[in-house]
Structure 1
C-alpha cells in the first residue's frame, strides 16, 4: 500500500509540473527546428502537423512509450509516429488529415489513406493504400528493481523514476526539484495525501481526454462531410461543362499531387535515416552531458540511461554570402566560393556557380540536390584530379552542364546519360578517347573550343556514342584536318581558328545530314579541297571559308549550297559556270575584302545563279566599273559595290535601259521594269563617282532612292 501511494504521489507531482509549464509557456531547453531556404518547407506533410497538434492536445499522464515504425506495402518506412494510447482503454484520437485515395474500412468506419488509429489498447493501425497495417506497442526492457504497470498503460515503468515530459517532442529531464512550499514557484503544489483525491483527479483527467477526443472526432466528421459535399457539387458542375474532360483533368492533378507527395515522403525518409545515424554517433556524448547536468535532489530523479535521448537533427546551413534563391534556382555568381555550397533541397533544378574559386567537386557535392537539370560551373579553378569519380553520377536528370574557363585536361567521368548540352570551352583538354562520351546518347550540343585538341589526340571513335549529336564546336584548337568519326546525326560543324590545310574526300562520307560547315580562319587553298569532298551532299546549305588562302572561288561546291561566304581571302577570279550545277541555286554570295578586278568577272561567272541570287557583296575589292550580269539577276535585292574604284554607273549596267525613253509609254515601261526588279538596297559609297554625271535612269529600277547610298565618295 505504501508503494502504491508513493507511486501516485510522484505521478501527481509530474502532472502538475506539466500543468505549470503549459500555463507559463516555458520554452523547452531543446527545440527542433529545421531550416529551409524558402519560407516554409514542403517536406513536412500536413499529416505531420496534424499529428503534432493532436499530440499537444492529448498530453496528460503518459508513460514511456517507444516510437513505432509503420511499414507500407513496399517494405520501406514511410514515417515514424509517436504512439499515444488513450486513458481507460478508449480509442486514440491520433490521426492524419484525410486523403482522396486508398480508403480503408475499420469497425464500420471509413479511414482515409495514411490515417492512424488505435482499435485496442497497445495496438496502432495505419491505412496504407487501401490496406490496414497494425503494429503492437513494443516495450523497452527495464533493469530497475521495482517495476509496475500503471492503469491504462501498455508498458511497465520503474516505480522509483518519475519522468518530466515536456510538451515538445524532445523529453525534458528536470534537474533538482524546488521545494514544494516555495512561493516563487507556482508550478508545484502540495501533494494529495488521500487515495480518494487521487482517484477523483484521474477521473477528471479521463473525462477531459474523452471530451477532447469527441470534439476532434466531430470536427473531422464535419470536415469529411464538407469535403464530400464539395466533391458532389464539383461533379455536378463538371457534368454541366463536360464531364469527360473534367474527370481527366482531376485525375491528372491527383496523379501529380500523388507523385509530389511520394517524393516528399522519400525525402523525409532519407533525412530521418540521416538523423538516426547522427543520433547514434552522438548518443553517448549526450548521455554524458545529461549526467553532468542533472543532480539528484529531493523527489525528482534522473532518467535511466537505458532510455534513448533523441538528438535534434543537424540544422541545414544557410546559403553562403552572395548567394540567392529564386523559385527553383540557386544563384551564387561571383560569390567568392571555394567549394560547392552544401544545399539540401530536392526541388532545386538549377544551380549557378559561375565566377568563383572552386577547385574540386567531391563525390557527395550534389547529394542534397539530386534533381538538378542545369549546372553552371563556368570560370572557376576546377581541375580534372579534383573531380570525384562519382561526382555527377547522382544527377540523373541533369541536362545542361557548363564548365567553360576551368583547368580541365580530360572530360569529367561518369557524366549523366540524360545530358543534352555540354560546354567545356577554354580549358586545357589535350585528349579525348573512345570512352570519354560513353552513355551520352542524348547529347545534342557539344562545345570544346579553345583547348589543345588535334587529330593526333582525338580518337576516331570518340564521337561514336553520340547518337543524337547535331551541334559540334571545335574552334580554336590545333586541328590540321577535319576530325574523323563524326556522327551521322551531325548538322552543324564549327572548326574556325584551327590550322586546317586540307579537306579530303572521306571527311564527310558519313554525315549526310550536315547543313552548316564553318572553316574560317584556317589555311585552306582551293587545290587542297578534294573534288568529291562535299559535292554530293544533299543537305549542305552553308559553307564559310572566310580568311583562308583562296585565290579563286572553289569548284565542286555542294549541289545544295545556298550560302557561300568567302570574305577576306585573296580571290582574283570567279570561274565561269562555277555555280551552274547547283539546285535550286545559290542565294547568298559574300566576296568582300578580296582582290577582284573586272577582268576576273564575266557574265558566265554567275551562270546558274541569275534567278536565285538574293544578296551579292563585292565591296572592298578593286573593281573599276559595275560588273556585267547584274541586270540579269531577277531575285537580287541587296548589292554592295562600295569601297572599290568605280567612276561611273551606266544606265544599263544596274537597271535595264529603255528602247525609247521619250515615247508616251514611258510610265508603263517603268512600271513593267519595277515589277521585274527586286533590288531594294544598293551601296556605292567610297568610290570615285561624280554624282552629277549619273544618268537619271541609272537607278530607275530601285523603288526608293533612299535605298541608294552614294555618299561619301573619294577624291580623284
Structure 2
C-alpha cells in the first residue's frame, strides 16, 4: 500500500513539473511575439507609418479603371483576384508601379498629396508618412494656417514658456547657448551701460527710504544716504507698506538671480532683438509649413517665390499660388533641393531667368503643370529624373530643349499645342534613360518620330492620330504599353509590320477610335487588348492565333458585335489563355460560340445585349464542370426569362451570388 501511495506522489510531482514547463514555454512565446510586434513599429516617435493599398492599384497585370471619360458607363466588373470587383479600364501598369488618382507613380517615387503627408511607392504599394502631433499640456489650443499641429493660445503659450525658463535646459541647447551668448555679448554690454545711466538719472527723483539693513551693508547710493539724513521718518501704516514692498522686491530679485544662474545668458536677451529661430528650423512665411525636410506653401497667395534659406530642405511645394516669375537667385537658399512643385501658377517662359535652376545640383523632380509656358525652360539640371509640364501652352520642342537630360526617366507634356510639325525628330535623342512618356491631349496626327530606344510606356490619347506606319516603333524594342484611345485610327491604316514583331509589347488601348474589325497583325506578346467604344461588328478568324503565351484580357464593350460577327475560330489561339472577356453593350441575341471551351476564363460580361435564352452547355460544359475557372457572370439588361433557364446552365459556377441576372428588359 505504501508503494502505491509513493508511486502516486511521484506521478503527481512529474505532472506538476510538466505543467510548469509548458506554461513557461507559452509565456516565452508570448513575450517573443510582443517583442516582434514592438520592433515592427517605425523608430521615429513623431510619425506613424500607414501602409495603404490604394484602390486604384491592382495587380500589375490587371486592367485599371479609367474614370476620365463620362461616355463610359459606371458598371462594376471583377478583377482576376478572387472575389474582387473591377471596372472598365483599361491598361495595367508595369509591375511595381502605383496608381494614385489616375496617375502612374514609378517604384520608389515620393510625393506629398497633402501638406502634412509624404508618400512613397514601394513595389506597388503606397506607404504614407503622416505627421503626428504631440498632445499639448494647455487647455486651449489653436492651429495656425499652414501648420500641421495645433499650438497653445497666446496666454497659455506665455505661461508655458515661463515654466520652461525655470527648468534646466536639455543638453542639446548648450551649444546654442554658447553661440547665442557670443553673438549677444556686445549687445548686453551696451544694455548694461544704458542701465547705469538710467539709474543715475533716477537718483534725482524722490524715492522711498530703504531699510536699515540695506544702509548698513552699503547698498544705498551716496545720494540716497545724504537725502535720508534730512528726510523725516514715517511710522505706522506707511512704514509697514514700505517694508512689504521692499521684501517683495528683494524676493523678485532673488528669483531673477536664480533663474539667470540656471538659464544662462541665452534668455537674457534685449527686448529689441529678433527672437532666435530654433536650431535646424528655418524661418518661413506665415502661410508655409515645414514637415520632414519638406516646405509646403500651397495656396498661399504668393506672387513671387518667397526667399527661404534652408540648406537641409529637400522638397519645396508652391502649388496653387499666383507666382509669375522665377529670378536667377530664387533658389539660392535651397541648394539641396531634390523635388520642386510649381504647378498651377502663372509662370511664363519669358519670366524665367536663364540661371533660375542652375544652383539646384541635386534636383530630381520638377513639376510645372498648369502654367503659361510656351517652351521648355533652358538650363534645367542634368540630375532631373522626372519633368512634368502638362496643361501649359508649349508651342515647340527643338533639338536642344531636352539635350542635357540624359537621366530623365519620366516626361509628361500633356495638354499642350505639340504636333509632328513643331516637335523636332531629334528632340528625344539624348534621353537615354526615358521610359515613361505622356503626350496626350496634343495635336499629333502621326506617332512622333525619334522615340528613344529606352521607352517602355507611351501615352498618346486624345490626339488626332489616323495612321500607324511600319517605322513608328522600329527602335523601341523595350516598349510594353501603348495608349492610343480617343484618336481617329482605322484598322486599315495600321501597317502589317507596325508592331507584330515587338517582343515586350503587352498592352494596347485603341478605345474610341474608328475601328470596324478587331485589327490583324497584333503583337505576338500581347496580353491586354482594349477596344471599347469603337464600331466593331466582327472578330476575324485566327486573329489571336499567333500570340504567345496568349491573350489574357479582351475588352470589346460598347461596339456593334452580333451573332454573325463571331464564330468558333474568332477566339482561336486564346481559348487556353483568356481570363476576362467583356462583350457587354453589343447586339448579341444569343451566347457567342466557344465560351464553354475557354478553360482559363473567370470573368464574363454579356450584359446589355439582346439575349433571350440560355441553352445548356452554352456557358458551362457539364462534363468538365470541376475544371471550370468561371467565377463571375453578368447577364443583366437582356431579354432573358430567368424562370426558363435550365438548372444545368450555370453548373460550373461555384457561387450563384456571382451570377447577375437582374434586372431584365421587357419587350
Q: Give the TM-score range, shorter chain.
A: 0.5 to 0.7
- Match for residue 328 of structure 1 among 277, 293, 303: 293
**How far apart are 1:420 and its partner, in Å?**
1.1
Partner of 1:467: 432
Measured in 2, the distance between the counterparts of 1:357 and 1:613 equals: 52
Query: How much does 1:51 deviate?
Result: 6.4
**Equivalences for residues 694-709 of structure 1 within 5 A:** 694-709=645-660
2:412 matched to 1:447? yes
1:715/1:50 Cα in 2 relative to 1: closer, same or farther (>3 Å)? same
Q: Please list every run of 5 or more consecutive structure 2 residues that lacks an aligned counterpart in the other structure.
A: 1-147, 152-171, 206-218, 224-272
One of 479, 484, 495 as aligned partner of 1:519:
484
- Calculate the TM-score normalised by the size of structure 2: 0.61
1:54-453 equivalences in 2 (<5 Å) = 167=188, 183=203, 319-453=284-418
- CA shift, 1:557, in A, is 0.2
Unaligned runs of 5+ residues in structure 1 are: 1-36, 60-164, 191-311, 659-672
Following superposition, the deviation at residue 179 of structure 1 comes to 11
1:685 and 2:636 matched: yes
1:55 and 1:648 mapped to 2: Cα distance? Answer: 91
Match of 1:33 in 2: none
SS in 2 for 1:604: coil
Task: Name the SS for the 1:631 alignment partner.
Answer: helix
Select 1:532's aligned residue among 497, 501, 504.
497
1:180–1:189 Cα contact (<8 Å) kept: no
Q: Distance in 2 between matches of 1:464 and 1:692?
A: 65
1:86-131 CA-partner distances (Å, limit 9, x unpaired): xxxxxxxxxxxxxxxxxxxxxxxxxxxxxxxxxxxxxxxxxxxxxx
1:363-406 CA distance string (max 9 Å, x none): 01111111111111111000000100000111111111111110
> Is the CA contact 1:644–1:687 (under 8 Å) kept in the aligned structure 2?
yes
Work out which of the residue numbers 512, 536, 540 in structure 2 matches 1:575: 540
Distance 1:499 1:184, change over 3 A: same
After TM superposition, what 4+ stretches of structure 1 lie above 4 angstroms from structure 2? 44-49, 51-56, 165-168, 170-190, 312-318
TM-score (norm 1): 0.57
Tell whether 2:627 aligns with 1:676. yes
Equivalents in 2 of 1:649, 1:178: separation in Å? 106
Specify whether residues 697 and 450 from structure 1 end up closer, same or farther in structure 2 by C-alpha distance, changes over 3 A only: same
Q: Tell me which residue corresponds to 1:715.
A: 666
Q: Among residues 436, 457, 461, which one is paired with 1:496 in the alignment?
A: 461
Q: State the distance in 2 between where 1:383 and 1:411 align.
A: 10
**1:492–1:516 CA contact under 8 A, matched in 2:** yes
- Separation in 2, partners of 1:687, 1:414: 61
| 1:643 and 2:594 correspond | no
Larger Rg: 1
| 1:57-84 Cα deviation digits (max 9, x unpaired) | xx9xxxxxxxxxxxxxxxxxxxxxxxxx
CA distance in 1, matches of 2:182, 2:388: 54
Structure 1: distance between partners of 2:318 and 2:221: 57
Distance, in Å, in 2 between the alignment partners of 1:447 and 1:331 is: 23
**Contact preservation (8 Å) 1:340, 1:365:** yes
SS of match in other structure, 2:492: helix
Conserved? CA contact 1:428–1:451, under 8 Å: yes
The Cα shift of 1:321 comes to: 3.4
Aligned residues: 435
**Aligned partners of 2:220, 2:363: CA distance in 1, in Å?**
58
Contact persistence 1:674–1:703 (CA under 8 A): no
> Which residue of the partner structure matches residue 632 of structure 1?
597
Determine the C-alpha separation between the residues in 2 that align with 1:573 and 1:166: 89
Inter-partner Cα distance in structure 1 for 2:458 and 2:297: 33
Give the Cα separation in 1 of the matches to 2:431 and 2:546. Answer: 34
Alignment of 1:475-624 (within 5 A): 475-624=440-589
Range with bigger deviation, 319-328 or 629-638? 319-328
Kindly indicate whether the alpha-carbon contact (under 8 Å) linking 1:181 and 1:189 is maintained by their aligned counterparts in 2: no
SS at structure 2 position matched to 1:426: coil
Structure 2 Cα separation of the partners of residues 179 and 705 of structure 1: 97
Change in 2 beyond 3 A, CA 1:526/1:320: same
Decide whether the 8 Å contact of 1:526 with 1:551 is kept in 2.
yes
Tell me the distance in 2 between the aligned counterparts of 1:528 and 1:436.
32
Alpha-carbon offset, residue 188 of structure 1: 9.2
| Mapped partners of 1:181, 1:615: distance in 2 | 95
Question: How far off its partner does 1:416 sit?
Answer: 1.0
- 2:466–2:489 contact (8 Å) kept in structure 1: yes
Q: Distance in 2 between matches of 1:686 and 1:174?
A: 92
| Distance change >3 Å, CA 521–CA 166, structure 1 → 2 | closer
